[in-house]
């Protein structure tokens, strides 16, 4: 386990990607503060506005995930390819911010024509994670995440967070 703030932040971001890839929702929320806020945002040049496609608190996310089995979902896995571009740790090493570029691909499974499409990967969204952390006890905990995407064509969309 790293004692370096920057490395702790990077570890947290990449671990979050692994957790989200595997839909380990509880583990991912376990990386987040109780006051964690999550949003998916985008700028639309079509309408000239910043948009919020989703924004949920930690509590709402927990309820969101608990209700997932009750919804009909396209189960095509989403997988992240992320690169942490920058980490800024404040002087007292108690908080940090990071910018991470990501691509999320979708491995076709049951959302379209399964016999033809399974096994193919499509690019689903492109964006940047804008994350904020608190750092304590040797780990970085998410206090806020904005998944700012550069995609407005989202086809079927998803029930899963990005």
159 part of the interface to another protein, by CB under 8 A: yes
Smallest distance from the beta carbon of 8 to another protein, in angstroms?
Answer: 29
Burial class of residue 28 (count of CB atoms within 10 Å of its CB; 0-12, 13-18, 19+): buried
Smallest distance from the beta carbon of 70 to another protein, in angstroms?
Answer: 4
Among 1, 3, 71, 137, binds another protein (CB under 8 A): 71
What is the SS3 assignment for 15? helix
Among 2, 4, 44, 101, binds another protein (CB under 8 A): 44
Site string for another protein, 135-154 (x = CB under 8 A): -----------------xxx
54 part of the interface to another protein, by CB under 8 A: yes
40 part of the interface to another protein, by CB under 8 A: yes
From residue 12, alpha-carbon distances to 73, 126, 157 in Å are 28, 20, 26
13's tokens: 């971001």
Closest to another protein by CB, 133 or 160: 160
90 part of the interface to another protein, by CB under 8 A: no
Integer Cα distance of 103 and 113 in angstroms: 24
DSSP code string of 22-79 = TT-HHHHHHTEEEEEEEEEEEEETTTTEEEEEEEEEHHHHHHHHHHGGGS----PPEE
Q: For another protein, how many residues bind (rule: CB under 8 A)?
A: 38
Interface with another protein (CB under 8 A): 40, 42, 44-49, 51-56, 60, 63-64, 66-67, 70-74, 111-113, 152-162
């Amino acid at each position: 386990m790293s004692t370096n703030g920057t490395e702790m932040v990077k570890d947290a971001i990449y671990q979050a990607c692994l957790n989200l890839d595997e839909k380990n929702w509880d583990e991912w929320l376990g990386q987040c503060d109780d006051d964690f806020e999550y949003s998916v945002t985008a700028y639309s040049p079509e309408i000239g506005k910043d948009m919020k496609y989703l924004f949920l608190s930690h509590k709402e996310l927990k309820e969101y995930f608990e209700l997932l089995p009750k919804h009909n979902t396209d189960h095509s896995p989403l997988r992240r390819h992320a690169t942490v571009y920058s980490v800024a740790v404040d002087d007292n090493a108690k908080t940090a911010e990071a910018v991470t570029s990501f691509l999320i691909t979708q491995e076709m499974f049951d959302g379209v024509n399964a016999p033809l499409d399974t096994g193919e990967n499509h690019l689903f969204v492109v964006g940047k994670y804008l994350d904020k952390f608190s750092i304590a006890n040797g780990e970085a905990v998410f206090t806020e995440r904005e998944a700012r995407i550069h995609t407005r064509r989202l086809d079927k969309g998803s029930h899963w967070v990005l």
